[in-house]
């Protein structure tokens, strides 16, 4: 199974959770288990570069605290303290003169330099744990490279990547998160399996490197006979490890299939739960159709009432007109004369 990501540190699951979290985050600052632990720099891990950098930073802190404290202790606290310190320096210069101002800046400079060197430089917690737990975590460097294929029949690094990818796939699966798998066994057993595989692969890598170094450029029948025997032993152990890695990969594949089936089941369940809403929707649709018919009937009745009203008005106007037309002419003229 090809992997697109680099191998993450493989950490002993027996370590405390806080230490494991520090070590598993990144390989930066960690030391390969199969190599000797380098000596810690003097002064608690502080280097000459740290001291010179602290000297420059402390000079800025002493002369222009408002420009740098926000980057060291946070934006708002840094600005508040920096403004107060800057105002204090200006006040000292105005009240007591330039010499007092210089002496104050020098004093603050030395104090800030000491604090930065002691508190801000040297070995941090992660580096301390990396040294303390050296040998209980494995990095990519512990598993060699493709040059060991001739002796082992495979690349230890690629095999470790496959094992880690399979374990990660199971532990990050939806069925595992929702407790549908044996989550206790997975959380405990799978990291232990991964760590045991890392130990075995690192040991195989170490032995294969030794065999390659011992053989060197030597040749001859006796060398070939010994190499053949040792190569057979290495590959026999490698084959047993391959079976463990393949078992993890089968578990991961089954977990992916279970994830797909679980998502399908959830989708069907949600659709079935929508059945009641769909039924209500159909009922409301029928009601809507009946309501439309009723509204149209009301509209028809409304138009009919308007028609009746118009007809009545027309009839009344017609009756009035007919009655006016039927009156005698002399009566209409008499009424006009009297008017």
Tell me which range, 134-148, 170-184, 300-314, is most confidently predicted by mean pLDDT: 134-148
Confidence class for position 321, pLDDT limits 50, 70, 90: very low
pLDDT tens across 285-318, in order? 665 655 555 555 544 444 445 544 555 555 455 4
User: When comparing pLDDT for 296 and 246, which is higher?
Assistant: 246
Confidence (pLDDT) at 314: 53
Beta pairing partners, 138: 10
Confidence (pLDDT) at 196: 93
Residues 6 or more apart whose Cβ sits within 8 Å of residue 104: 89, 92
Q: Does the predicted TM-score (pTM) go above 0.75?
A: no
- What is the maximal distance between C-alpha atoms in the chain? 157
Confidence (pLDDT) at 33: 93
Confidence (pLDDT) at 32: 94
Does the structure show a pLDDT above 90 at 31?
A: yes
User: When comparing pLDDT for 325 and 84, which is higher?
Assistant: 84
């Amino acid at each position: 199974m090809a992997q697109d990501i680099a191998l993450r540190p493989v950490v002993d699951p027996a370590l405390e959770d806080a230490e494991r979290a520090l070590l598993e985050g990144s390989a930066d600052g960690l030391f390969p288990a199969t190599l000797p632990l380098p000596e810690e720099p003097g002064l608690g891990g502080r280097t000459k570069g740290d001291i010179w950098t602290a000297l420059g930073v402390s000079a800025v802190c002493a002369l222009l605290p408002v420009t740098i404290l926000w980057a060291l202790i946070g934006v708002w606290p840094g600005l508040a303290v920096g403004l107060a310190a800057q105002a204090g320096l200006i006040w000292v210069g105005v009240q007591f003169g330039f010499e007092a101002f210089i002496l104050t800046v020098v004093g603050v400079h030395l104090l800030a330099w000491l604090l930065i060197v002691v508190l801000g430089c040297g070995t941090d917690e992660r580096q301390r744990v990396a040294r303390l737990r050296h040998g209980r975590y494995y990095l990519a460097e512990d598993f060699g490279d493709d040059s060991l294929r001739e002796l082992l029949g495979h690349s230890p690094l690629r095999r470790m990547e496959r094992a880690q990818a399979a374990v990660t796939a199971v532990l990050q699966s939806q069925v595992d998160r929702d407790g549908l798998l044996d989550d206790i066994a997975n959380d405990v057993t799978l990291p232990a399996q991964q760590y045991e595989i890392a130990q075995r692969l690192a040991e195989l890598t170490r032995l294969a490197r030794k065999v390659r170094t011992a053989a060197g450029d030597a040749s001859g029948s006796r060398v070939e006979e010994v190499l053949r025997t040792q190569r057979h032993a290495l590959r026999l152990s490698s084959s047993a490890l391959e079976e463990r890695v393949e078992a993890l990969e089968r578990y991961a594949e089954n977990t992916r299939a279970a994830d797909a089936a679980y998502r399908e089941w959830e989708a069907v369940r949600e659709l079935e739960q929508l059945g009641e809403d769909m039924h209500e929707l159909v009922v409301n649709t029928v009601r809507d159709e009946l309501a439309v018919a009723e509204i149209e009937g009301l509209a028809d009745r409304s138009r009919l009432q308007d028609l009746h009203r118009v007809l009545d008005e027309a009839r009344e106007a017609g009756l009035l007109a007919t009655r006016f037309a039927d009156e005698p002419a002399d009566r209409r003229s008499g009424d006009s004369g009297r008017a």
